[in-house]
Amino acid sequence: MTYHFDFAPIWAHRDLLIAGLARTVAVSAALLLGIVVGTLAAARRRLWRFAATGAVEMTRNVPLLIHMYLWYVGLAFLRLPPFLCAVLGLAIYSAAYVAEIVRAGIAAVPHGQSESALALGLTRFRTLRFIVYPQALRIVAPSLASLFSQLIKDSSLASVITVSELSFAASAIESDTFRSFEIYITVALIYLMLVMAASRLVLLLPGAHRPLLRVRFADA
* 20 touches 168 (CB < 8 A): yes
- Asked if the structure places residue 166 within a domain, the reply is yes
Q: Which residue blocks in the chain are alpha helix, DSSP H?
A: 8-12, 14-28, 32-41, 46-60, 64-69, 82-108, 111-119, 124-127, 133-154, 166-177, 180-203
Kindly calculate the radius of gyration of the chain based on its CA atoms and give it in whole angstroms. 21
Flag whether pLDDT at 43 surpasses 70: no
DSSP state letter for 72: I
Query: CATH no. for residue 134?
Result: 1.10.3720.10
Q: Would residue 2 count as lying in a domain?
A: no
Tell me the pLDDT tens digit for each residue of 153-186: 888 888 888 888 898 899 999 999 888 889 999 9
Helix (H, G, I), strand (E, B) or coil at 213: coil
User: How many separate domains does the chain show?
Assistant: 1
How far is the C-alpha of 197 from the C-alpha of 111, rounded, in Å? Answer: 34
- 120-129 long-range contacts (CB < 8 A, ≥24 apart) are 128/39
The verdict on residue 54 lying in a domain is yes
Per-residue H/E/C for 139-153? HHHHHHHHHHHHHHH
Please state the pTM of the whole predicted model: 0.73
**Closest Cα to residue 149, out of 28, 19, 20, 67?**
28
Is residue 219 a part of any domain in this protein? no
Q: Is residue 217 part of a domain?
A: no
**pLDDT digit string (tens) for 91-147?**
888 878 887 888 888 888 888 888 888 888 888 888 888 888 888 888 888 888 888
Residue type, 217: F
Angstrom distance (rounded) from CA 148 to CA 155: 11
Quick check: is 22 in a domain?
yes
pLDDT for residue 200: 78
| Between 30 and 93, the higher pLDDT residue | 93
Cβ-based neighbour number of residue 196 at 10 Å: 11
Say if 104 falls within a structural domain.
yes
218 against 89, higher pLDDT: 89
Q: Does any domain span residue 50?
A: yes
Range of the domain at 118: 8-203
